[in-house]
């Protein structure tokens, strides 16, 4: 039993969940173990903005005493992304403008994981207001990649990804408005899931400008990601003001079953073009191409139909998406005179957003609505679309231009041109590692499903996971 408790981080989240359910490990023991991992490893990794050991252990005792074991995430340790306020806990939104801010109320996702019986250990790091695709906020430390700490963990859920990849958490929730789950998951060799718009009540995206932002899981295995997503969708006792969770017809069962079974044959379309092709010089690193080719080979070997999709240029996309991204930033609330403490990229986005007219925003929203329809129609002949997860290998810490906002935005586009359009289209997507570079860095691919098609993604990802035979690889930080 001693060895069991010393090695809890070696178990998958699903295995840990089973240990908790059988009473072989208590919620307090699980929390203590991962808090110790955080204390030892996070100084090097920078995954956490705040750690709350006292509150976590008290929460674990409450869960053990008062929460039914049937709660879907009973006793499972995780952490809140620093964009999601938790009452009584410092919440900085990755910004110097919110230094010392303590939240008075918890937001929807925090309430959802609590209702599911989870135990939060603190707040994972995020870039300022979650806007960039890397996590190097001036308010704190950069979130470093556990596979090579000179590289970044991606963003904006970079802290969550770094924590899970380093074994400081079994899994973690994140949020994704343009790739913010999938980018760090791909950077850190994890499974990351962006659900369909409307799938998760606590982060449906329906109430966001353009419907971009949703919440979802980051995990080390496909089954672990499904376990967390199921818990986010249907926590027990979730507030009545969130009564809906969309599920596609025929896919009403828990996603964990699809992830464990990993059954079925599908038609896969390979997409190499991006809607950013007319905006930036999009080039695939050889390592990204190798990962894609490996996935294609594995899918073909398993009997899936695989064909390349014809290119479909969308020259209007960059201007429309930039307008929407800037307009979203325009509504950021900055207390008092703290605007001067915003980072250059944020100041640029806020300023440009406030210059936009209502007519410009309406035009952009209308164009993107048409893009959504065209994209769904383009993908309608296949069950799943396969793309590279990232165009480049994980970027070094300090690689992004900190002063020139236009160049910074272009750098982000060149790094991750395959993610934001999925948010615009409201489709589900999953990234998973399938290949390793010569330097030992995991590289992944992205699977995009039909509206409401998460079960198909989990089933196909489970097959790829098995076929890739990567085993339980651990980063050097482990």
* pLDDT tens-digit map of 294-333: 999 999 999 999 999 999 999 999 999 999 999 999 988 8
Task: State the catalytic residue, choosing from 81, 95, 133, 196.
Answer: 81
Task: Give backbone dihedrals phi and psi of 238, rounded to 5 degrees, phi first.
Answer: -70, 145
Please check whether residue 188 lies inside any domain of the structure: yes
Q: What's the whole-number mean pLDDT along residues 40-51? A: 98
Whole-prediction pTM value? 0.96
Residue that the structure tokens 């079960």 belong to: 455
Q: How many residues does the chain have?
A: 478
Q: What is the pLDDT of residue 335?
A: 72
Q: What is the pLDDT of residue 202?
A: 87
Give the angle subtended at the CA of 422 by the CAs of 421 and 428, to the nearest 5°: 180
Label residues 245-267 b or e (16+ Cβ within 10 Å = b).
bbbbeeeeebbbebbbebeeebe
Residue 445 scores a pLDDT above 50: yes
Retrieve residue 355's tokens. 């210059």
Residue 114 scores a pLDDT above 50: yes
Residue 282 scores a pLDDT above 60: yes
Confirm whether 81 is a catalytic residue.
Answer: yes
Percent of the chain with pLDDT over 70: 95
Please check whether residue 53 lies inside any domain of the structure: yes
- The β-bridge relationship of strands 77-81 and 429-436 is unpaired
Q: What is the pLDDT of residue 250?
A: 47
Please check whether residue 287 lies inside any domain of the structure: yes
Task: State the catalytic residue, choosing from 106, 120, 133, 156.
Answer: 156
Residue 204 scores a pLDDT above 80: yes
Q: What is the DSSP letter of 395?
A: P
The 10 Å Cβ neighbour count of residue 359 is 8
- pLDDT bin (cut points 50, 70, 90) of residue 1 is very low
Q: What's the whole-number mean pLDDT along residues 357-379? A: 97
Please check whether residue 195 lies inside any domain of the structure: yes
Q: What's the whole-number mean pLDDT along residues 247-270? A: 84
Q: State the Cα–Cα distance between residues 189 and 164, nearest whole angstrom.
A: 10
Confirm whether 156 is a catalytic residue.
Answer: yes
Q: What is the pLDDT of residue 246?
A: 58
Q: State the Cα–Cα distance between residues 100 and 448, nearest whole angstrom.
A: 40
Please check whether residue 476 lies inside any domain of the structure: no
Please check whether residue 166 lies inside any domain of the structure: yes
Please check whether residue 477 lies inside any domain of the structure: no
Q: What is the pLDDT of residue 12?
A: 98
Residue 248 scores a pLDDT above 70: no
Q: What is the DSSP letter of 224?
A: H
Domain CATH for 36 = 3.90.1300.10
Task: State the catalytic residue, choosing from 120, 133, 180, 196.
Answer: 180
Retrieve residue 253's tokens. 């069962």
Residue 338 scores a pLDDT above 90: no
Which residues does 291 contact at the CB level (< 8 Å), separation at least 6?
388, 389, 433, 434, 435, 443, 444, 445
Number of independent structural domains in the chain: 1
Please check whether residue 475 lies inside any domain of the structure: no
Q: What is the pLDDT of residue 235?
A: 72
Question: Using CB atoms within 10 A of its CB, is residue 10 exposed (0-12), middle (13-18) or buried (19+)?
Answer: middle
3-state secondary structure of 63: helix
Confirm whether 133 is a catalytic residue.
Answer: no
Residue 228 scores a pLDDT above 70: yes
Full residue range of the structural domain in which residue 155 is found = 2-468
Q: What is the pLDDT of residue 237?
A: 55
Q: What is the pLDDT of residue 333?
A: 85
Residue that the structure tokens 């995954």 belong to: 47
List beta partners, residue 448.
385, 429
């Amino acid at each position: 039993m001693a060895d069991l408790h010393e090695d809890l981080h070696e178990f998958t989240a699903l295995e840990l969940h089973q240990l908790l359910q059988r009473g072989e490990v208590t919620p307090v023991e699980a929390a203590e173990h991962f808090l110790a991992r955080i204390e030892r490893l996070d100084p090097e990794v920078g995954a956490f903005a705040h750690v709350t050991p006292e509150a976590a252990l008290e929460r674990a005792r409450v869960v053990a005493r008062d929460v039914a074991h049937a709660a879907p995430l009973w006793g499972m340790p995780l952490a809140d992304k620093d964009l999601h306020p938790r009452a009584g806990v410092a919440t900085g939104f990755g910004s110097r403008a919110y230094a010392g801010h303590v939240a008075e109320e918890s937001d929807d996702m925090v309430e959802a994981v609590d209702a599911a019986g989870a135990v939060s250990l603190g707040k994972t790091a995020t870039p300022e207001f979650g806007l960039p695709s890397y996590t190097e906020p001036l308010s704190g430390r950069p979130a470093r990649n556990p596979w090579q700490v000179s590289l970044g963990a991606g963003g904006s859920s970079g802290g969550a990804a770094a924590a899970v990849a380093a074994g400081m958490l079994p899994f973690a929730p994140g949020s994704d408005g343009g790739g913010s789950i999938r980018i760090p998951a791909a950077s850190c060799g994890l499974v990351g899931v962006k659900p369909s718009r409307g799938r998760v009540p606590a982060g449906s995206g329906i109430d966001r400008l353009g419907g971009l932002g949703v919440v979802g899981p980051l995990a080390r295995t496909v089954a672990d990601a499904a376990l967390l997503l199921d818990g986010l969708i249907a926590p027990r006792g979730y507030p009545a003001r969130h009564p809906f969770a969309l599920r596609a017809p025929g896919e009403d069962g828990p996603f964990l079953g699809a992830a464990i079974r990993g059954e079925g044959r599908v038609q896969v379309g390979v997409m190499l073009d991006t809607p950013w092709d007319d905006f930036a010089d999009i080039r695939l690193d050889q390592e990204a191409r190798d990962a894609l080719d490996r996935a294609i080979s594995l899918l073909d070997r398993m009997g899936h139909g695989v064909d390349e999709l014809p290119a479909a240029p969308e020259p209007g996309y960059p201007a429309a998406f930039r307008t929407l991204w800037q307009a979203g930033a325009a509504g950021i609330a900055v207390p008092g005179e703290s605007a001067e403490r915003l980072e250059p990229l944020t100041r640029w986005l806020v300023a440009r957003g406030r210059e936009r007219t209502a007519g410009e925003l309406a035009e952009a929203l209308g164009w993107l609505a048409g893009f959504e329809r065209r994209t769904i129609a383009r993908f309608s002949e296949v069950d799943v679309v396969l793309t590279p997860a990232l165009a480049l290998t994980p970027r070094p810490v300090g690689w992004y231009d900190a002063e020139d906002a236009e160049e910074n935005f272009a750098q982000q586009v060149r790094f991750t041109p395959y993610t934001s359009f999925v948010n615009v289209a409201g489709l589900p997507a999953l990234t998973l590692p399938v290949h390793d570079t010569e330097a030992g860095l995991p590289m992944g691919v992205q699977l995009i499903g039909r509206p409401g098609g998460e079960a198909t993604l989990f089933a196909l990802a489970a097959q790829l996971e098995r076929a890739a035979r990567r085993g339980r690889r651990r980063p050097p930080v482990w």
